[in-house]
């Protein structure tokens, strides 16, 4: 393949050995140009953690683009999680995340992020408007992460059951891929793995991959109701 563009040039590039199987291609984008790119080329379209109604609207847009191309696509969401045995403990952990961040730091971060041309980033910023008040933008959906960093700026916060409820709500919209993270990463992975995933298994939303293999089911098999895969980021 050869290519000459404004920023780089490639002359007779080759791939001596193509990957087999091909890894699925995940793509996130909320701008008008991003949707058709995902619909043309990608396997999974990702959204950042917006309230369910906004996610439903984005899914409707993407499904229309995919239907025009007569393709199939899966849909996913990128979120942080703060899950504890009780809701009170979870919200205390959320509050501690911002306790050491000064108003001056938040203002500086927000000013820098406002210069971004990313439509997804704009939507994240609009959820909180740079204010430390009214950060709960939907049930158990907290926009506080986005005050101090760019990118995915929301977290599901609550008891294990509440977080499982919200994941089920998103799954019922048609999301089947969940890319989750927390702070600190390892500790939050344990909280989620021990507290939330058993509840999702009880509801038929998740099956351990080893259990599927033992039952003779392909690892990527999906039931009529989405079997939700999770990835830690």
| Interval 177-215: pLDDT, tens | 999 999 999 999 999 999 999 999 999 999 888 877 677
Query: Confidence band (pLDDT; 50, 70, 90) for 217?
Result: low
* Residue whose C-alpha is closest to residue 45's, from 76, 67, 79, 80: 76
What is the reported pLDDT for 227?
56
User: Could you tell me what percent of the chain has a pLDDT over 70?
Assistant: 91
pLDDT in tens, 91-138: 999 999 999 899 999 999 999 999 999 999 999 999 998 888 889 999
Give SS3 for 131: coil
Four-residue CA torsion sign, 85, 88, 91, 97: negative
Give yes or no for a contact between 111 and 96, defined as CB atoms under 8 angstroms apart: no
Per CATH, which fold does 23-232 belong to?
A: TIM Barrel (3.20.20)
What's the chain's average pLDDT?
Answer: 90
Boundaries of every domain in the chain: 23-232
At residue 219 the predicted structure's pLDDT band, cuts being 50, 70 and 90, is: very low
HSE (CB half, 13 Å, CA atoms) of 72? 1
At 15, the pLDDT band (50, 70, 90 cuts) reads confident
Predicted confidence at residue 221, as pLDDT, reads: 44
- pLDDT at position 133, please? 83
Higher pLDDT pick, 129 / 163: 163
For the segment 51-75, the average pLDDT, to the nearest whole number, is: 97
Q: Exposed, middle or buried by CB within 10 Å (0-12, 13-18, 19+), for 212?
A: middle
Q: Give the whole-angstrom CA distance, residue 42 versus residue 45.
A: 7
Residue 95 parent element (H or E): helix 87-99
Q: Could you give the CA distance from residue 196 to residue 172 in angstroms, rounded to a whole number? A: 17
For residue 78, the SS3 value is strand
C-alpha 104/C-alpha 115 separation (Å) is 17
Rounded to two decimals, what is the model's pTM? 0.85
Give me 227's structure tokens.
Answer: 């079997």
Residue 85 to residue 83: CA distance in whole angstroms: 7
Pairing of β 44-48 and β 26-28: parallel
Residue 121: the pLDDT is 95
Q: What confidence tier does 232 reach under pLDDT thresholds 50, 70, 90?
A: low
């Amino acid at each position: 393949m050869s290519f000459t563009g404004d920023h780089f040039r490639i002359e007779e590039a080759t791939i001596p050995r193509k990957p087999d199987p091909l890894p699925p291609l995940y793509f996130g984008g909320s701008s008008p140009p991003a949707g058709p790119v995902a619909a043309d080329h990608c396997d999974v379209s990702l959204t950042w953690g917006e309230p369910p109604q906004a996610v439903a609207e984005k899914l409707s847009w993407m499904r229309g683009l995919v239907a025009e191309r007569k393709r199939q696509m899966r849909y996913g969401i990128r979120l942080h999680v703060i899950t504890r045995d009780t809701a009170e403990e979870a919200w205390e952990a959320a509050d501690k995340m911002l306790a050491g961040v000064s108003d001056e730091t938040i203002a500086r971060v927000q000013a820098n992020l406002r210069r971004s041309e990313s439509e997804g980033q704009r939507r994240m910023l609009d959820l909180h408007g740079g204010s430390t008040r009214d950060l709960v933008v939907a049930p158990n959906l907290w926009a506080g992460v986005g005050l101090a960093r760019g990118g995915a700026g929301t977290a599901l916060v609550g008891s294990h059951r509440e977080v499982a409820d919200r994941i089920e709500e998103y799954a019922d919209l048609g999301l089947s891929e969940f890319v989750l993270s927390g702070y600190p990463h390892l500790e939050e992975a344990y909280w989620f793995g021990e507290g939330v995933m058993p509840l999702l298994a009880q509801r038929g939303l998740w099956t351990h991959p080893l259990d599927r293999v033992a039952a003779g089911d392909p690892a990527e098999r999906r039931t009529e109701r989405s079997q939700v895969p999770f990835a830690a980021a």
